[in-house]
Amino acid sequence: MTSAKRGMGDRIVLATLLCILLLSGPASARGWAEREDWSRLFRAESIEGTLVVFDERDGARWVHDEARARQRFIPASTFKIPHLLFALDAGIAKDEFQTFRWDGVSRRFPHWNRDQTLRSSLSGSVVWVYQDVARRLGEKKERRYLRKIGYGNRDISGGIDRFWLEGGLRISAVEQIELLRKLHRNALPFKVEHQRLVKDLMLIDAGRDTLLRGKTGWAFDVDPQIGWFVGWVERPQGAVFFAMNMQMPNGAADASKREAIVRAALRGLDALSASSL
């Protein structure tokens, strides 16, 4: 074989390998397409933030503000998703019927001041339940679990019961998508029944042919305050994953904007019906 033919063969092999890597690599390794219409959604709410969507129906990857999408922020209550898995794996939480007894201490939100189940603690973002979980897990197990799933920067500085609220833990919107995709496929390193339970607890809305699963987050003890909404929509043709974070300069007055922006973007992709609020 001549050197020219060998060179051509080598180039074909390299091109083939490159195609395989591009097709098989994670979403974070591929390109994201900017959406100008999503920029308008954020401007209409006078909010600075990012939104990332991975659409399994056609493989599309959409983003508003890719630089921010790759920047890590404190996860706040979106960390309850993996934290539930840690608690179930460690035997601290048993099932959705388990009761966590309120200690009688009056806290920030009235609905926190009562006994809780796993479902109410997730839907109501009841911080004290997960602070109790963290104290019972301890630093060694928290670090081990964070390494196990490759969660963000895996930093638990700032206190065992505060590290995801105002401490050192950080994760990007792109990394949130990767975690959600694994959970959707029961591909995280935990029992399948535990992953299925967490997904059940994440259910927000159910339509005729759609299921919306997700979790909001609000880091109100940091400056600037940070809001999150992460999750996915299940459709017959495939799941549509989303992760958004934003600054909340007006605190609670900005809270509803998290879901409003995401739902509007998903309706624009025909992931949610026009009648979805």
Q: Which residues are catalytic?
A: 77
Of 226, 211, 243, 229, which is closest to residue 47 (Cα–Cα)? Answer: 226
Give me the long-range contacts of 183-190 (CB less than 8 A, separation at least 24): 183/81, 184/232, 184/239, 184/241, 188/85, 188/149, 189/148, 189/149, 190/85, 190/88, 190/89
Torsion sign, CA atoms 39, 181, 69, 232: positive
Share of the chain residues as helix, strand and coil, in percent rounded to the nearest 5: 45, 20, 35
Residue among 138, 125, 105, 204 nearest 165 (CA): 125
**Phi, psi of 145, deg, nearest 5:** -65, -40
Q: How far apart are CA 31 and CA 10, in angstroms?
A: 26
